[in-house]
C-alpha cells in the first residue's frame, strides 16, 4: 500500500473508484486499515464522498474511529452529506455518538445538507438532534444557508421546528437578509409571513430591502420596502390607538 507524494495510497484510490473486492484484498494485508493522506483524508473519506456505501460498511467494521476527521475536521459524514449521498449517510450515522460533528469552521453535516438543499438528508440527520438549527462558528445557522441558496421546501421544514423563524448571526444577518441578497423572492415571502420584524438590521444598519437593491434585485427590493412600510403603518396605527386611550 505504497503512497504517492501527497500521501494517497492504493486503498484511497480503490475506495474512491468503488472497487469493493480490491479494497477487501488490500485491507486484509494492512495493519493500518484507514491511512491518511497529507490533508488527513482516509479511504473512508473517499468512499463516502463518492457514494460507495458497501465500501463504507466494509471499512467501518474494521475501524475503532468510524467517522475520522481530516486535518480541518472534515469527516466522511460531512462529505457524504455535501455530495448528496443519502444511503452513505445512513451507513455512516449508525452507531455514531456524535451525529453532527463540527469541522474547524463549525460546519456540520446538517449545514452541508442545507447548502445542497437535500430534504432527505436533513431529515435523517435532524431526527437524531435536539437542536434542529445549529450554528457555525460565526453564528450562521442551517436556515441561513438554506435561505441563501433558495431552497424553499427545506426552509419550510426547518422553520416548522423553530421558535425564532429569523435567527441572527454574529453580524446580525438573518435568513431574510441572505434570501434578499441572492434574490430568492419566494423564500423572502415565506419568512415575512412568519416574523414580526419585517426590516431587521445588520450591524452596519442594512435592511433586507437595502441588500436586495445593492445586489441588483430591484423588484425584490421594492417588495421588501413595501412590506417594511406596511409594518411601519401598522405600528403607527397601533400607537395612535394607544394615544387615544
- Tell me: the pLDDT tens digits for 104-153? 999 999 999 999 999 999 999 999 998 889 999 999 999 999 999 999 99
Q: Is 135 helix (H, G, I), strand (E, B) or coil?
A: strand
What is this structure's pTM?
0.89
Confidence of residue 33 (pLDDT cuts 50, 70, 90): confident
For residue 52, give the C-alpha cell.
460507495
User: Quick check: 139 and 170 in contact, CB under 8 A?
Assistant: yes
Nearest-CA neighbor of 207 among 219, 197, 216, 195? 197
Dihedral through CA 223, CA 229, CA 233, CA 236, nearest 10?
A: 150
Q: Is 13 exposed, middle or buried (0-12, 13-18, 19+ CB in 10 A)?
A: middle
pLDDT one-digit tens code per residue, 208-229: 999 999 999 999 999 999 998 8
- Please give the backbone phi and psi of residue 204, each rounded to the nearest 5 degrees, phi first: -100, 20
> Rounded CA gap, 104 and 3, in Å?
27
Looking at residue 244, its pLDDT comes to: 53
Average pLDDT, the chain: 91
| Residue 161 confidence (pLDDT) above 70 | yes
Q: Is 207 helix (H, G, I), strand (E, B) or coil?
A: coil
Amino acid at each position: 500500500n505504497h503512497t504517492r507524494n501527497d500521501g494517497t495510497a492504493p486503498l484511497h484510490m480503490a475506495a474512491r473508484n468503488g472497487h469493493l473486492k480490491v479494497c477487501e484484498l488490500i485491507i486484509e494485508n494492512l495493519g493500518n486499515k484507514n491511512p491518511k493522506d497529507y490533508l488527513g483524508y482516509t479511504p473512508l473519506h473517499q468512499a463516502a464522498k463518492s457514494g460507495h456505501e458497501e465500501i463504507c460498511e466494509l471499512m467501518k467494521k474494521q475501524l475503532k474511529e468510524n467517522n475520522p476527521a481530516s486535518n480541518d475536521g472534515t469527516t466522511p459524514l460531512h462529505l457524504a452529506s455535501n455530495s448528496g449521498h443519502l444511503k452513505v449517510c445512513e451507513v455512516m450515522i449508525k452507531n455514531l455518538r456524535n451525529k453532527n460533528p463540527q469541522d474547524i469552521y463549525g460546519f456540520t453535516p446538517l449545514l452541508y445538507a442545507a447548502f445542497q438543499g437535500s430534504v432527505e438528508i436533513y431529515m435523517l440527520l435532524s431526527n437524531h438532534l435536539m437542536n434542529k438549527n445549529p450554528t457555525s462558528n460565526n453564528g450562521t445557522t442551517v436556515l441561513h444557508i438554506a435561505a441563501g441558496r433558495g431552497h424553499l421546501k427545506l426552509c419550510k421544514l426547518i422553520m416548522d421546528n423553530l421558535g425564532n423563524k429569523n435567527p441572527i448571526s454574529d453580524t446580525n444577518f438573518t435568513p431574510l437578509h441572505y434570501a434578499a441578497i441572492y434574490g430568492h423572492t419566494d423564500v423572502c415571502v415565506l419568512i415575512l409571513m412568519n416574523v414580526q420584524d419585517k426590516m431587521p438590521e445588520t450591524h452596519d444598519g442594512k435592511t433586507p430591502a437595502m441588500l436586495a437593491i445593492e445586489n441588483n434585485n430591484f423588484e425584490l427590493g421594492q417588495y421588501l420596502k413595501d412590506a417594511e412600510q406596511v409594518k411601519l403603518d401598522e405600528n403607527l396605527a397601533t400607537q395612535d390607538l394607544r394615544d387615544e386611550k
